[in-house]
Amino acid sequence: MSSAVPGSLLAAFAHPDDAELWAGATLALHARCAAVTIVVPHRDELRDAEACKGATVLGAELRQVPRLDHATMQQVLLEAEPDVVITHPLNDVHPEHRAVAATVLAAVPEPRIATGRPSRFYTCDTYNSLTLDGPVRADVIVDATSTFDTKMAALCVHASQPIEQHFGPMAESLGRLWGARIGTRYAEAFTAVPILGCLPGRHPPLSCRTPAALPPSTHPQGMIMTSIPVQSQNRRPVDRVRAQELTRELLLALGEDPDRDGLQDTPRRFADWWGEFLDHDAGRLDTSFAQEGRYGDFVLLTGIEAWSVCEHHLLPFRLDVSVAYVPDTAVLGLSKLVRHLEARTHALQLQERITHDVAHDLAKAAATDDVAVFTTGEHLCMSMRGVKATAVRSTTMCRLGRTESDPDLAARIERLALPVRL
């Protein structure tokens, strides 16, 4: 008889305060509906006591072990049989984080074969969301708004650490940054890791979710996730006259003189640009060609550049896009792959929503379930304001059908589709 608790989550970390810092809000949210266990190695008496108090605040059980080595981790997994495992990024900048992540990953296969668990494996965020390979890739973004205060309260328990001076502000900044990506106040990000060559197909990444099917809630036996807001496709045309009038008012509100040289024609130019951008006609999207027999392999288009405007700050963001699909009975004209992207980017948008919608648009147009879309973005709302992180890029992906369920196909597409970081 299995002792596993449906939906249970096990989080293994290197330091007593890591659970609170990197995943505290998600653990607190998950603890409302399922068992959460935090596993950390013993430190000294003070830090062990802080870890115990912090876990209590989050609503989690704490398991402290002498050493977080392979044998210990394997035993913990066999005993707890968690559905979900969370640990540090495999390429974390912190060497102790990397060591724990490697240990946890190596310990997972035998319990998975013996018990069928864990079914899902995720890595969490890290310092400034930067790993040794570049920015953290968020496959799952959790709306942490309702439990972020709990996270911070648990973090503050670790009074022996520089919480007020360093870790607290960093947690606040990262929470707000990820929240901005999905339109919430706070969020936490996680990356899916294959177990025995399989990604969590039953619970696909956030970008693959249909918004109407997944309101912000607890997914049965799963991690608590948020959906992407649905964008209206019935927008009215731009009222250029009204936009011109309001631009003049904006200049006045900014302390400028709209009648001075250099600004006299700015309201008209600004209104015209919005009209050109938002009223853009992407052209025909339904051109396809019947194919005799099955092609069998995928079609991949890379190097597509697109611009859109962040709906939160009205600042532009640039995307490098790759799209792939496996034709069934018809192939799309190559230009149509780009036109479907244009149809989604000429709007006030979110990168995640563009990725999701383009993938589903192409699946419908090509009459195939086997579609993948990858976008890497540079957001001016992040590079020229707020944290002013000019080197940060965000990557989102939506993989449907065999581009997600077939490990070999998924790996071949991803290897060619994602940009190489030097």
Instruction: Give residue-wise pLDDT tens across range 334-381.
Output: 888 899 999 999 999 999 999 999 998 898 888 888 999 999 999 998
pLDDT of residue 119: 87
Provide the token pair at 347. Answer: 């709007």
Our separate counts of H helices and E strands in the chain read: 14, 16
What distances in angstroms separate CA 92 from CA 96, 125, 249, 306, one per listed residue? 9, 9, 48, 30
Q: Give the count of beta carbons closer than 10 Å to the beta carbon of residue 259.
A: 9
Residue span(s) of the chain under CATH 3.40.50.10320 come to: 9-213
What is 9-213's CATH number?
3.40.50.10320
What is 288-417's CATH number?
3.30.1130.10
pLDDT of residue 329: 73
**Amino acid occupying residue 107:** A
pLDDT tens digits for range 165-200: 889 999 999 998 888 878 788 999 999 888 876 655
8 Å CB contact between 381 and 180: yes
Measure the CA–CA gap between 77 and 114, rounded to whole angstroms.
11
8 Å CB contact between 390 and 383: yes
Tell me the angle at which helices 18-30 and 148-156 cross, rounded to the nearest 10 degrees.
140
Minimal CA–CA distance to 398: which of 340, 311, 312, 313? 340
CA atoms within 13 A on the CB side of 109: 7
pLDDT of residue 5: 45
Provide the sign of the torsion angle of the four alpha carbons 51, 56, 58, 60, taken in this order. Answer: positive
Spatial CB neighbours of 322, under 8 Å, sequence gap ≥ 6: 300, 301, 302, 303, 304, 373, 374, 416, 417, 418
61-65 and 36-41 beta bridge pairing: parallel
Question: What's the full length of the chain, in residues?
Answer: 422
Instruction: Tell me how far the alpha carbon of residue 334 is from its chain's centroid.
Output: 28
Residue span(s) of the chain under CATH 3.30.1130.10 come to: 288-417
Report, as ranges of residue numbers, the positions in the chain whose pLDDT lies below 70: 1-6, 197-235, 284-296, 419-422
Measure the CA–CA gap between 341 and 394, rounded to whole angstroms.
18
